[in-house]
Structure 1
């Protein structure tokens, strides 16, 4: 079996998934992951059991509030620690970027190991902040809940543990319901990712030229003698070195991510009061935690990894869903899941009435 290639004007394109040593990424990430919060065996066991039960209990309320009734059995969540999550993330990223588990397909020796080590280091950093994740690319889909991080955050926020665990599960189970009720979403996402992760072998001078044009046309704010970039600026720089098809693919992913996260946030609050008595306290403290200032190095890493962009997705996406559902109700809102043409366009995320006028 050989790596998938595409022909474009005689240029071979190799999927990024074949250029990374994913096994090394998992090993390095596991070794570099931050130490997990101290907890007794009883606390760990109770958290694992309660997260598993909360994931099961969340499914029916989420289906009822969203109206996305896919009819399948309620699958079990997988409760993991940080190294387990990193290992699962490398497998998912391999699948998303066109890689393969075939032992006969080897990444480029030196660059593959370097890329694997770098990927592992990034995942190690991210692994301490992930509460849960639905992976639509692993078999029939898999819901992961990272119990050490749940323990750490509920302690930091000083909230009722049982309520917080249910609240987290409501968000992640919503993602599971979104994808299981609308199987085309995973294909739509993987199609955009395939375009983004193709290595077209473009002349470096052309990429640098586009980057220079972007910097010239979008004056960068300078503070204390150094350029300052927010998450929006990072996305702009990324777009500057991309081809037009890649820019369009990035737009599709950003819009889809904003919709999925905003929809999950909306559902958390809609379901919350019925099953999470302290939901108002949790929401207020969790939002404060998202907005708190970070040390400079951590702030830079968050920007480079797109963490702040994801926070923006939560806010903008929830505002979009709140407004549309408030105006037309959840049943009519669900027209959004029909196909790629009914997903919101970038401008419609900020102006929901435009989506209502176009689709409904």
Structure 2
């Protein structure tokens, strides 16, 4: 645990407690309904393996095919993600401790910062915990209550049962079809990482490179988190179209939290991370819709309703938070990545597309995500 003067820079236990206390309750279900939803998600997750592997023609590497599937509630998702953040941010917090422990910023954070930052991180997580349907958790170490794949960084597939039930009711779609559809997406992520052994280490190295370029003292980190929470509480400008939005972006408001803490030196790394995340998310969307017609009878209805929900959000506060946390960028990743995958598969087939998994050098650049033909030309040595 990274600390200053014996006080944690981020009180992760307080972050968990805060998020768990503030997270909205899930939908009302009977005990039998809850058990059935959990059991069906587990069945669909198991069935999705064969569907996804057959469609993508990707198979797990030796010893990588037994990643656990965990059906969790909202507090379970919070605990898993706090563990992941703690693991990823430890180098940054260690760097901040070494460089700033004796300065005024370090003194401020050493007195109250750990508690304050823990509360603010918890507030942000409480918002996210009611919206995530599923997640392939790549970096968190295994724990007794949240097991992971030994020797693979704790890789595990999380399905957030109350959120799945909430959305299927909100969309008024067939619950059995929707649950399988969600599992197809998340199983694709599990297949990506289990079939491509170098992928996890590559992404972790890029994240550490991004964090390594951060030149921020503890008081600045605390201030950035405070800005985020103030926006969450409605203290910032509403995100409106046209001139007001442009002015807000011009004077530094309206940016995502990722952008707020970004330095110019990090833009190149962030561009590569954006490209690989667009690939992974777009590939999962392409697979879930490609497999869907064979096993999900109402896939067209689900996709249409889900796309409208994904684009609209739940209101102005929700839109502000999505922008603050960079979720609008994630929505673009789904769209742009799926377009890239579809274009490449149409051009060179699934086997040709799968050359993307050969090495980090065959991953698309951010520019190639927007222009798939450039990736085909580079990797397949083709010209127009």
**TM-score bracket for this pair, using the shorter chain length:** 0.7 to 0.9
Instruction: Answer yes or no: is 1:271 the counterpart of 2:291.
Output: yes
Match of 1:96 in 2: 88
How far apart are the structure 2 equivalents of 1:129 and 1:227?
Answer: 26
Correspondences of 1:1-360 after superposition (within 5 Å)? 19-70=9-60, 72-98=64-90, 108=110, 110-139=112-141, 140=149, 141-198=155-212, 199-201=214-216, 222-223=243-244, 227=248, 234=255, 238=259, 241-244=262-265, 246-292=266-312, 294-360=314-380
RMSD: 2.9
SS at match of 2:71: strand
TM-score (norm 1): 0.83
The offset of 1:73, in angstroms, is 4.1
User: Partners of 2:245 and 2:53 in 1: how far apart?
Assistant: 51
Which secondary structure does the structure 1 equivalent of 2:158 belong to? Answer: strand
Per-residue CA deviations over 1:297-319 (Å, capped at 9, x if unaligned) read 22111100111111111000000
- TM-score, normalised on structure 2? 0.78
Q: Is the 8 A contact 1:51 1:169 kept in 2?
A: yes
CA apart distance, 1:32: 0.8
Aligned residues: 325
Q: Which runs of 5+ in 1 are unaligned?
A: 4-13, 205-219
Per-residue deviation at 1:238?
2.0
Q: Name the CA distance, whole Å, in 2 between partners of 1:247 and 1:256.
A: 14
Q: Distance in 2 between matches of 1:236 and 1:51?
A: 33
Where do 5+ consecutive residues of structure 2 fail to align?
98-108, 142-148, 150-154, 221-240
Change (3 A) 1:64 1:200: same
Q: Secondary structure at the match of 1:162?
A: helix
